[in-house]
Amino acid sequence: MKNFEPEQFRQHFPLIYKNRYINSGDESLLSIIYFDNGATTQKPNAVIECLPAFYQNINANVHRASHNLSAKATKAFEQARETVKTFIHAKSNKEIIWTKGTTESINLLASSLGKKVLSSGDEIILAVSEHHANIVPWQIIAEQIGASIKVLSLDAAGRVDLNEFDTLLTKQTKIVCCAHVSNVLGKINPIVDIIKKAKAAGAVTVIDGAQAIAHFPVDVQKLDCDFYVFSAHKMYGPTGVGVLYGKEALLDAMPPYQSGGEMIKNVSLNKPTTFNSLPFKFEAGTPNIAGVVAYAEAVHFINQFDHDELTKYEQQLAQYCFQALSRVPTVKFIVEGAPDIPVIAFTIEGHHNHDIATSLDSYGIAIRSGHHCAMPLMEYLNISGCLRVSMAAYNSFDEIDYFINTLIKVIQQEKENSLGEVTHKTIHNKDTESNEIINKFSKIKSWDSRHREIMLLGKTLQRMDKGLRNEDSLISGCESLAWVVVNKSPQGTFSFQADSDAKIIRGLLVIVLSAFNGKSALEINAFDIDSFFEHLGLIQHLSPSRGNGVLAIVDKIKILTQ
C-alpha cells in the first residue's frame, strides 16, 4: 500500500493534471479547477486505459459461449464482482448485483422489493434530504400498492433527526430509505442507529451510498443494512455502472426486475419459465462488461493508497474551504456546521446562484448550482436552490485559494453590475438585431469575455411588469425563474417581452429574442438555434441542449406562437 501524496495522486488523472492550476500569480496558466465531484469524479489513467484494452484484447459476451474469448471476458467480469464484494465486505458474490447506477439500483428495489414486502396501508420512511432517485421510485410503487410515505426531517446541522425517527417508526413501517451522506449537505447520517431501530421494528433498510463510497471505507456487514447502493462514476470509475448490494436471503425472495437473457434458467412456451440463481436473476441482457471491468480497476486504484490518509486529506480540504467561505461576508451556509465530507452547500446573499456559477465558469472554476436533484430539501429549507462545491483527493489548497479569491471578485463585479442596472433599465431589446449580436460576438475570442458581454446584454433587457410574471408566462425547465409573453402584429409577426431573476438568463433572453423578434410562426419554428449559437461562439458553453434554459426558452416561444 502506498502512502497518499496529493501531488502524486493528481498525476494519475490526465484531465486534472494537464489542466492543473499553477499558483504563479499568472491567471493565464489556469485551465480547469474541477469542484463538481459530487456529480461525477474524473478518471485515473488505469481506468481510462482499461476500456480500450478490453475491447482490443478480450471483447466477447460473458457466460454464454464456450470459446476462449468469452471465457476471458467472463473471468474478468466475475473477478470484478469479487473485487467489489471484498471492497464493501459483503459475505458473498451473490450479494453483488450489477446495475447502470444508483438510480437503477433503487428502481430495482422499489419494484422488486416493493412488490414483495409492501401491502396497502404499509408505510415507507424517507428523509427529506434524499436525492430524487431515492424518492420518486418509492412514490410510484407506494401509489401502485396503496402504501404511504412518511418524511423524516433534519436537525439544525442537516442530519436526519433520530428523535423524530422514533416517532415515525411504527408496525406499519416496512421500508426505511436513507442516504449515508446527503449529496447536498455533505453530512454523514446516523445510519447505524437508523438500521438498528428499523431492524427492531421489522423494517427493511435501503442505504444510498452514492456520496459515501468514495470518501471513506464502507463495511456492509458491520452496518448490518439490508441493501446498499452506489455508482462507479462517483468513485473514479466509468459511467453506466452501479452496484446493488443486498442480503442474499432478501434478494433470493425478490421477483426479477427485468426479464430476458441471462436471468433465466429455463424458458418454455408450454410450462412456467424458471429464473436463474443469484446474482444473475437480476442481470437481464448483455451488461456493461467493459465498464464493470474498468470499475474493478478504479477499486484497485483506490486500494493502492492508505485510505485513512486519503480520507484525512479530504477532510482537511473540506475544513479549509469551509473556513475560507465563512470569511466571505455574503456567504450563507444552508445548514449549520462544517460538512463531514468535502461537499459544501451555500448561497450568496443578494445574488442568483446561476449567475455566480456561470461567472466562476468564465474563470475556469466548475461548481454546481441549482436544486441538485433534491427539490424537497430545497422546499424544506425555504430556498430555491444553492451553490455546491464538491472536492476530491486530487484537488488542492491552492485551488481553494484561487476559488475563494475569484468568488470575492465575482461578487464585487455582480454588485457593480447591479448598481449600473438602473442606467440601462429603459433600453429595449426589440431593436437589437441578431446579425448585430453575431457581429459583436465574432470579435470576442475567450469565454470569459463572452460571458461578460452576455451579462452586459442582460442589463439592456427591459424588466417585465410583475403582473405579467405568472404561471402562464413562466418558462418551465429553465435553471432560474424566467418568463416570456408574446404579442402578434396584424401582419402575423411576433414580438416578445421576457424577464428572469438571474442576470445571465436575462442576457440569454436578449440573444434568443433577437433571433425571433419580428418573425412569423413559420420562421420561428424553422429557426436553427444550434447554428445561431455556433455563429456566436457559445455552443461549447451554452449549447441549447444543456441545462441552462436556452432550449426551454425556445420551446416556450414556439408554443406561444403556434
Residue 280 has pLDDT above 60, yes or no: yes
pLDDT per residue as tens digits for the range 294-303: 999 999 999 9
What's the confidence (pLDDT) of residue 263? 67
Q: What is the pLDDT of residue 135?
A: 97
Residue 328 phi, psi (nearest 5):
-85, 115
Nearest-angstrom CA–CA distance, 210 and 218: 11
Q: How far apart are CA 20 and CA 237, in angstroms?
A: 21
Q: Please report, for residues 350, 357, 478, 480, 504, the alpha-carbon distance to residue 548 in angstroms, rounded to integers and kept in the order given.
A: 20, 11, 6, 9, 10
State how far Cα 400 lies from the chain centre: 21
Q: List, edge to edge, every strand of the sheet that includes 519-520.
A: 482-488, 493-500, 519-520
Reported confidence tier of residue 87, pLDDT bands at 50, 70, 90: very high
Kindly state the average pLDDT of the residues 138-162.
Answer: 97
Cite the active site residues: 373
Q: ∠185-187-189 over CA atoms, to 5°?
A: 125
SS3 207: strand
Give per-residue pLDDT as tens, 215-273.
Answer: 999 999 999 999 999 999 999 999 999 999 999 999 999 998 877 767 676 777 888 87
Cβ–Cβ under 8 Å, residues 505 and 549: yes
- Around Cβ 240, how many Cβ atoms within 10 Å? 18
Weakest mean pLDDT among 146-150, 314-318, 405-409, 540-544: 540-544
Q: Which of 518, 497, 520, 500 lies closest to 508, judged by CA?
A: 500
Candidate from 218-232, 317-331, 407-421, 504-518 with smallest mean pLDDT: 407-421
- pLDDT for residue 25 is more than 90: no
How much of the chain exceeds pLDDT 70, in percent?
Answer: 93
Q: How far apart are CA 408 and CA 421, in angstroms?
A: 20
Q: Kindly tell me if the per-residue pLDDT of 455 is higher than 90.
A: no
CA distances, 263 to each of 278, 287, 394 (Å): 9, 12, 40
Asked whether the beta carbons of 524 and 478 are under 8 A apart, the reply is no
Distance linking the first and last C-alpha atoms of the chain: 65
Q: Which of 4-8, 235-239, 273-277, 351-355 has the lowest mean pLDDT?
A: 273-277
Mean pLDDT of 348-370: 93
| 396-437: pLDDT as tens digits | 999 999 999 999 999 988 776 665 544 333 334 444 467 788
C-alpha cell at 501: 431573476
pTM attached to this predicted model: 0.89
Question: What pLDDT, on the 0 to 100 scale, is given for residue 425?
Answer: 39
Q: Which residue has the cell 460538512?
A: 339
What pLDDT score was predicted for residue 433? 63
SS3 387: strand
Cell of 435: 446579425
- The pLDDT-based confidence of 375 (bands split at 50, 70, 90) is very high
Rounded mean pLDDT, 41-62: 96
| Average pLDDT rounded to a whole number, residues 26-36 | 75
Lowest mean pLDDT, pick from 353-357, 365-369, 439-443 = 439-443
> Is residue 528 scored above 70 in pLDDT?
yes
The three-class DSSP label of residue 62 is coil
Show the domains of the chain with their CATH numbers. 6-45+306-418 (3.90.1150.10), 423-560 (3.90.1010.10)
Helix/strand/coil percent split, the chain, to 5: 45, 15, 40
